[in-house]
Amino acid sequence: MMKLKRLIFMSAVILIITAFYAYSREEIPTIDNIVFDHPQRSAAVFDHDDHNEKAMLEDDCSICHHVYENKKLIKDESSEDYLCSECHFLKPTPENAIPLRMAFHKQCKECHFESNKGPVLCGECHIKK
Amino acid sequence: MHSFINFIMGPMVWISFLIFFIGVIFRFFQVIKLVNERENFIYTYMSFKYSFRSIFAWLIPFLPVSTRKSPVFYGISYVFHLLLFLIPIFLLSHVALLEESMQWSWFTMNDAVADILTLIVIFSLLFFIIRRIVVPEVNFLTKLSDFGFILIVALPFVTGFLAYHQFFAYQWMVIVHVLSGELMIILIPFTRFFHMFMAPFTRAYTGSEFGSVRHAKDW
Amino acid sequence: MQETLTTNEKPESNKKDVIDEGVEKGLARLTPEKISTVINQVLTKETGARFKVYVETCMRCGLCADACSIFLSNDRDPKLSPAGKVKQTILEMINKKGKVSKQLLKDVVRIAHTECNVCKKCSMYCPFGIDIAYMMTLVRRICHKLEITPLYIQDTVNSHSATMNQMWVKEDEWIDTLQWQEEDAREEFENLRIPLDKDGADIMYSVIAPEPKFQAGLIYQTAVIMHAAGLDWTMPSTPGWDNSNMAMFTGDFEISGRIARAHYETATKLHVKKIVMGECGHAFRSVYDVGNRWVGWAMPPVDLVHAIDFYHDLLTSGRIKVKEQYKKTVTLHDPCNVSRGRGLHNKAREIVNILCESFIEMTPNREHNYCCGAGGGVINCGPPWKGSRMINNREKKEQLERTGAQVLIAPCHNCHSGLEDIVHHYGLKMEIKFLGDIIFEVMEKTIYQKDS
């Protein structure tokens, strides 16, 4: 009798966990990584509005969507209507030394390290499916 | 936590390599000093031709008779030593990190390939452990430290493998991975890991003696 | 004798529990202070980079094991692998900082002196090329300094030190023997000479002391070969005629160096162009590789030619012609000290093929041969150790047996005696010969003329 009870209990637990797991997986929005030819890692987890709220960016888009001209940051100008890949190409070029992958990584990690918050390790964004 | 991670993945890497290089230089200095003081005849017998003849002969898989006597161990050991360097050097995550911090970048291998190669390394190490226990003449020579060496090498590979697959405790897996990798680098000059630097020289000296004095092959 | 072994360790039950008087009496004299002083003196003052690097580089992979015929002869006993022997001797001494027991020293003597032929095959099997034979020589050096060297080999060293030859051969005995051989040979060959102390001769011929002592016939044969080849040669009448060197194997490097120096000084005094030596391996190692270094000569100061090299020259240049090839099936044993020690194995084969009709290889061969089991001073440790030596030579016996040859050619004295023991002990049907024996048998015994 005890055995059966335990079995049912364990199955229920496993069921809930897997259901939760599958559900939570489904829900996480990611960055669009379509420009990468053969991405080896899953697209990085990123929920734009949720992130900005947590980071208290208060609608200042230029913090992330920066604009550089002649390698100098133009203050208070923002580039949210452009794709990152329009400036940051897959391979570094003379005009822009920072290739796309590095641009993404640096953009997130440098800020996260500075503010002591947010993911900084590979698998914290590139979650294995 | 962020500053700790930043430290072990940033400054600590350089500190490890610094200790490694200083250690290597110190060890070489020690040996050269001893050679000069006690055995400077070594210079007399060292021959470039026969040193390289011997080293190259021993780099060709299964050319030396000795390696054909233990083909399984030698084969596994050969592949293991190659992968020990190839995987960490050409791993995408490592190169990506280096690129971000130093703008250094080179060829990387596919993650799926690296994954399989890592498994090969782990199974090689498992084989070494079993061989040390099972083969009597090897068991007789084995000290606890020999298992220690295997463990120290295994740790970064096992944790790297687990971290890549994100099975559990991801953050801790990465932390242990980084720390154990650094530990291995630091220990190289100060333990028998140093054979990676000394072996070519012992080989070269024996090769020189066999070649230029004894006119015989040494493989 | 038992009470002298003041130790708590249980003496290991060993099929080879041999009583060697030299070792036992030496151990009885030792004090713990003396033991640790000597060991530390040798390990710290007499070693350098090689020793340090070897000890710190060995990864204990065990690949050296398959090199060792003694290990193979004992059903792969882990204690007899080369690195295993280092572990039980040198490493033990390092770990205990020289404070080792007498029981351990007894084992150490046995291992270093009778379970290792210092044949250097293991340094060919170690991926790092670690010279384990060098380590074993160091152990023997310690035994020498502790005065626990096995009795019989110590006696030969004593002889070396007193007479400059290995067998207590007195000067008049030596000269008499040469003259007696000359006289005998002149009955067969008119005008044959064994020229003594001929100044400025092309060749000084040197032998090991057992030749005048028990095998004077070999000197006779050489005289005939020299005579027939029409060579300008001489033998020294003074000490220095013996090229053998047992001190090299007991770690008595001071005596070892004196022996090699005496040899070369004798040659220099006679103003000869080169030294030709008889078919001996360890003697070659002494004058070519070891003794000369101790004196300070990186390479031999006088051109030194081993019998194999010499015969090869005579046979290929036509100075000695073969009348009729040797009929019986022969096999060739490669002596470590001239094959692995000087790469003469291919010339030896060419000689055998010139001399004999059917030659059967034994395997492994050339640099990978199995030691005769006698070399490295092991046979010179004498009768107390013969039983264990026979057990340790099983692999060699099986190798000989596999060839099925009627005659075994061994161009080395030590090998000769060792193989003789193996053949008798295991009841093999094999005759053992020197290359010189066969040349003597098949050669044209007319005197070489330049235009004939």
B131-161: pLDDT as tens digits: 999 999 999 999 999 999 999 999 999 999 9
pLDDT value, residue C324? 94
B193-217: pLDDT as tens digits: 999 999 999 999 999 999 999 999 9
List Cβ neighbours of C210 (8 Å cut-off, separation of 6 or more): C166, C167, C244, C413
Is the pLDDT assigned to residue C11 strictly greater than 70? no
Whether residues C256 and C144 fall in one domain: no
**C to A contact (≥3 Cβ pairs closer than 8 Å):** no
List Cβ neighbours of C31 (8 Å cut-off, separation of 6 or more): none
Whether residues C42 and C139 fall in one domain: yes
Nearest to residue C203, comparing CAs of C291, C69, C119, C319? C319
Q: How confident is the model at residue A15 (pLDDT cuts 50, 70, 90)?
A: low
pLDDT value, residue A92? 86
Where along chain B do its domains lie? Answer: 2-213
Q: Note which residues in 97-126 of chain B have CB less than 8 A from chain C.
A: none
Report, as an integer, the average pLDDT of C27-55.
Answer: 96
Question: Quick check: is C7 in a domain?
Answer: yes
Q: Look up residue A90 and give its two tokens.
A: 């897959």
**C264 to chain B, closest Cα gap in Å:** 18
Q: Look up residue B124 and give its two tokens.
A: 């090689």
A77-93: pLDDT as tens digits: 888 889 999 889 998 88
pLDDT value, residue B20? 98
Please judge whether B137 and C129 are an interchain contact, meaning their C-beta atoms are less than 8 angstroms apart.
no
pLDDT value, residue B128? 97
Chain C residues inside the 8 Å CB shell of B187: none
Q: Look up residue B108 and give its two tokens.
A: 């990387």
pLDDT value, residue A1? 59
Please judge whether C343 and B136 are an interchain contact, meaning their C-beta atoms are less than 8 angstroms apart.
no
Q: Look up residue C428 and give its two tokens.
A: 């093999």
List Cβ neighbours of C53 (8 Å cut-off, separation of 6 or more): B31, B198, B201, B202
pLDDT value, residue B204? 97
What DSSP letter does each residue of C329-391 carry, written as one string? EEEE---HHHHTTT--HHHHHHHHHHHEEEEE--SS-GGGPPP-SSTTTTGGG-GGGHHHHHH
According to DSSP, residue A61 is labeled: G
pLDDT value, residue A25? 54
Q: Look up residue B22 and give its two tokens.
A: 């200083």
Task: Give CA–CA dist C21/C44, Å, rounded.
Answer: 29
Task: Give CA–CA dist B6/B174, Å, rounded.
Answer: 12
pLDDT value, residue A29? 86
Domain that holds residue C255: 161-314
Backbone angles phi, psi at A122, to 5 degrees: -45, -55
pLDDT value, residue C260? 96
Final residue belonging to a domain, choices C255, C286, C314: C314
**C422 to chain B, closest Cα gap in Å:** 26
> Sheet containing C431-433: which strands, arranged edge to edge?
C356-360, C326-332, C407-409, C431-433
B40-76: pLDDT as tens digits: 999 999 999 999 999 999 999 999 999 999 999 999 9
Report, as an integer, the average pLDDT of A54-71.
Answer: 87
What is the CB-side half-sphere exposure of residue B48 using CA atoms within 13 A? 0
Q: Which of B41, B65, B195 sits opposite C293 (nearest CB)?
A: B41
Q: Note which residues in 35-64 of chain A have CB less than 8 A from chain B.
A: 40-41
Bridge partners, C331 (sequence order): C360, C408
Q: Does B78 touch chain C (CB under 8 A)?
A: no
CATH classification of the domain holding C345 = 3.40.50
Helix (H, G, I), strand (E, B) or coil at C274: strand
Please judge whether B170 and A101 are an interchain contact, meaning their C-beta atoms are less than 8 angstroms apart.
no
List Cβ neighbours of C441 (8 Å cut-off, separation of 6 or more): C326
Whether residues C287 and C331 fall in one domain: no
pLDDT value, residue C7? 40
Taking each helix axis from N to C end, the angle separating B2-9 and B11-38, rounded to the nearest 10 degrees, works out to 30
Chain B residues inside the 8 Å CB shell of C81: 137, 140-141
C231-271: pLDDT as tens digits: 999 999 999 999 999 999 999 999 999 999 999 999 999 99
Whether residues C412 and C287 fall in one domain: no
Q: Which of A112, A117, A123 sits opposite B170 (nearest CB)?
A: A123
Please judge whether B100 and A116 are an interchain contact, meaning their C-beta atoms are less than 8 angstroms apart.
no
Find the range with the poorest average confidence among A85-99, B76-90, C74-88, C125-139: A85-99
**B to C contact (≥3 Cβ pairs closer than 8 Å):** yes
Mean pLDDT across chain C? 93
Question: Quick check: is C391 in a domain?
Answer: yes
Where along chain A do its domains lie? Answer: 1-29, 31-125
* CA closest to B172 among chain A residues: A121
C329-344: pLDDT as tens digits: 999 999 999 999 999 9
Q: Which of C83, C340, C345 sits opposite B141 (nearest CB)?
A: C83
Could you tell me which chains touch chain A, where touching means 3 or more CB pairs under 8 A?
B
pLDDT value, residue B161? 96
Chain B residues inside the 8 Å CB shell of A121: 5, 170-171, 174
Q: Does B58 touch chain C (CB under 8 A)?
A: yes
Which of C128, C285, C339 should be substituted to probe chain B, the one whose Cβ sees the most B Cβ atoms within 10 Å? C128
Q: How many CB pairs under 8 A join A and B?
A: 43
Task: Give CA–CA dist B63/B43, Å, rounded.
Answer: 28
pLDDT value, residue C283? 96
Q: Which of C60, C64, C293 sits opposite B146 (nearest CB)?
A: C60
C192-226: pLDDT as tens digits: 999 999 999 999 999 999 999 999 999 999 999 99
Q: Look up residue C96 and give its two tokens.
A: 């205990």
Task: Give CA–CA dist C44/C313, Å, rounded.
Answer: 46
Taking each helix axis from N to C end, the angle separating C49-57 and B11-38, rounded to the nearest 10 degrees, works out to 140
Q: Which CATH number fits domain B2-213: 3.30.1360, 1.20.950, 3.40.390, 1.10.1760?
A: 1.20.950
Please judge whether C128 and B199 are an interchain contact, meaning their C-beta atoms are less than 8 angstroms apart.
yes
Q: Does A129 touch chain B (CB under 8 A)?
A: no
Mean pLDDT across chain B? 96
The more confidently predicted of residues A14 and C115 is C115
Question: Quick check: is C154 in a domain?
Answer: no
**ipTM rounded to 2 decimals:** 0.94
Chain A residues inside the 8 Å CB shell of B170: 121, 123-124
Percentage of residues in chain C with pLDDT exceeding 90? 93
Q: Which CATH number fits domain A31-125: 3.20.20.70, 3.40.50.620, 3.30.460.10, 3.90.10.10?
A: 3.90.10.10
pLDDT value, residue A24? 56
Instruction: Report the residue count for chain C.
Output: 452
Report, as an integer, the average pLDDT of C174-192.
Answer: 93
pLDDT value, residue C451? 59
Q: Which of B2, B92, B165 sits opposite A116 (nearest CB)?
A: B2
pLDDT value, residue C17? 79
Nearest to residue B18, comparing CAs of B195, B194, B183, B186? B186
Q: How confident is the model at residue A96 (pLDDT cuts 50, 70, 90)?
A: confident
The more confidently predicted of residues A60 and C216 is C216
Q: Are strands A68-69 and A72-73 parallel, antiparallel or unpaired?
A: antiparallel
Whether residues C172 and C256 fall in one domain: yes
Backbone angles phi, psi at A104, to 5 degrees: -60, -55
According to DSSP, residue B63 is labeled: -
Alpha helices for C47-131 (secondary structure H) = 49-57, 69-73, 82-86, 92-95, 102-114, 122-125
Element (H, E) at A3: helix A2-27
Sign (positive or negative) of CA dihedral A14, A19, A20, A24: positive
Task: Give CA–CA dist C320/C32, Å, rounded.
Answer: 61
| Domains: count for chain C | 3
Q: How many CB pairs under 8 A join B and C?
A: 139
Bridge partners, C275 (sequence order): C204, C304
Q: How confident is the model at residue B130 (pLDDT cuts 50, 70, 90)?
A: very high
Q: Does B201 touch chain C (CB under 8 A)?
A: yes
Give chain B's end-to-end CA distance (angstroms, integer): 53
Q: How confident is the model at residue A94 (pLDDT cuts 50, 70, 90)?
A: confident
**C298 to chain B, closest Cα gap in Å:** 7
Question: Quick check: is C451 in a domain?
Answer: no
Find the range with the poorest average confidence among A63-72, B171-180, C368-377: A63-72
C36-47: pLDDT as tens digits: 999 999 999 999
Is the pLDDT assigned to residue C8 strictly greater than 50? no
* Identity at C74, one-letter amino acid code: N
Chain B residues inside the 8 Å CB shell of A88: none
Task: Give CA–CA dist C328/C130, Å, rounded.
Answer: 41
Chain B residues inside the 8 Å CB shell of A123: 163-164, 166, 170, 174
- Which residues of B fall below an 8 Å CB-CB distance to A? 1-3, 5-6, 92-93, 96, 99-100, 103, 110-112, 163-166, 170-171, 174
